[in-house]
Amino acid sequence: MADKNYYTVDPQGKLRCLKCGVPLEKGKAKFLYLDNGFPVELPVCPVCGFVYVPEELALGKVLAVEKALEDK
């Protein structure tokens, strides 16, 4: 089955996990809110699995979806 992603952020080698000392890679993640889930691709550390949510994403798309769900 084709993988569905609502949103993709590619770190393009510009982000680095300070704990593991490796660049973050585009990886599979999921946003969860009020019993709803959204598969996305975000910068993820290939070693420890830390997922990075950039400021623009948090204040843009994420906030908009939060607000929409809150009024469901």
- The span from the CA of 18 to the CA of 45, in Å, is 10
Report which residue type is found at 58. Answer: A
**Contacts of 26 by beta carbon, 8 Å cutoff, 6+ apart:** 8, 9, 10, 11, 41, 42, 43, 44
Q: In the stretch 27-66, what mask flags binding to another protein with x, by CB under 8 A?
A: xxxxxxxxxx--x--xxx---xxxxxx-x--xx--xx-xx
Minimum CB separation from another protein for residue 9, in Å?
12
Least distance in angstroms from the C-beta of 4 to another protein: 11
| CA separation for the pair 8, 33 (Å, rounded) | 18
Q: Is 22 a binder of another protein (CB under 8 A)?
A: no
- Footprint on this chain of another protein (rule: CB under 8 A): 14-19, 24, 27-36, 39, 42-44, 48-53, 55, 58-59, 62-63, 65-72
